[in-house]
Amino acid sequence: MPSLQQLLRKRSDAEPVTAPLWHPNFRNYERLPDTKTVRTAFFVNAVAGGIAACLLLYAGFNELKIRQLNQQIAEAQQQIDTRKGQDDQAKKLSQAFVEEEKKLSEAVTFTAIAMPPTEFVALLGETLPKDIAIEFFDMRLAEAAGPTVVLRGMASGSPEQASGAASSYADVFRTHPRFIAAVDKADITNVNRDTQRGVITFEVVLRLKTPGKEKKS
C-alpha cells in the first residue's frame, strides 16, 4: 500500500505547469478618470451653490429691508410735510391773534386813559408858554408801565432864560387842574443847548393815569 507521501508526490507531479499570475502595471493614476460613485467635484459644487444661495437670500433680505425703510421714511416725510403746513397755518393764526389782541389792548387802554388824545393835544396848545415850541408828540398806550406821552420841544431866548423855561415847563403838567387829573408823573429829560439854532432843546416824559389807579407818590 503506497504511503501518504507517495500519494502527495504523485498528485503534485500530475498537475500541469502554468504561467505565473503577474504582468507589468503601466497605468497613470493621475490621468485616469474618477470612477467614484459620488465625485468630489459634486461636493465642491454643492457647497459653492449653498454659499451662493445663502448670499442671495441675505442680499434679498437686505433689499427688502431697505425698501421697507425707504417706505417708512417716505411716509414719515409725508406726515412731516402735512404737519408743517398745519403748523405754519397755526403760526399765522397765532400771529394774527397776537396782533388783534394788541390792537384790542390798545383800544381798551385808549378808552381807559383819563384824557383822550384830542383833548390832550388841545389843552397842550392852550397851556403852551410863548417861549416854548413843541416839535414832537408821541403817545404810547402799550407801555408796560402804563400810557406814556413823550414831548420834544425847544425854548427860545437867552441861554439862561431858555434853560429856565425848559426846566420849568414840566410844572405846567403839575399845576393845571385838568393835567393834574390826567397826568400821574412829569419829568424833564435831555435838556441840551443847540448852538446852531441858538435854542435849548428838551424832552418831557409824562406818565398818564388810568381809571381805578391811584396817583403815585
Just give the CATH number of 117-208.
Answer: 3.30.70
Per-residue pLDDT at 51: 86
**DSSP sequence for 74-143:** HHHHHHHHHHHHHHHHHHHHHHHHHHHHHHHHHHHHHHHSSS-HHHHHHHHHHT--TTEEEEEEEEESS-
**C-alpha distance from residue 121 to each of 36, 40, 107, 178 (Å):** 121, 113, 18, 12
173 and 183 in contact (C-beta within 8 Å)?
yes
Split at pLDDT 50, 70, 90, the class of 217 is: very low
Tell me which H or E stretch contains 209: none
Q: pLDDT digit string (tens) for 35-64? A: 555 556 666 777 778 888 888 888 888 888
What is the distance between the alpha carbons of residues 105 and 82, in angstroms, rounded to a whole number?
A: 34
Which cell is 91 given?
403760526
What per-residue string of b and e applies to 16-32 under the rule 16 or more CB within 10 Å gives b?
eeeeeeeeeeeeeeeee
User: 12: helix, coil or strand?
Assistant: helix
What is the distance between the alpha carbons of residues 182 and 188, in angstroms, rounded to a whole number?
A: 17
Average pLDDT, the chain: 76
Q: pLDDT digit string (tens) for 57-103? A: 888 888 888 888 888 888 888 888 778 777 777 788 788 777 776 66
Please say if the pLDDT value at position 196 is more than 70.
Answer: yes
Per-residue pLDDT at 7: 53
pLDDT greater at residue 112 or residue 140:
140
Q: What average pLDDT does range 187-211 have in this prediction? A: 86
Provide the whole-model pTM. Answer: 0.46
188 and 150 in contact (C-beta within 8 Å)?
no
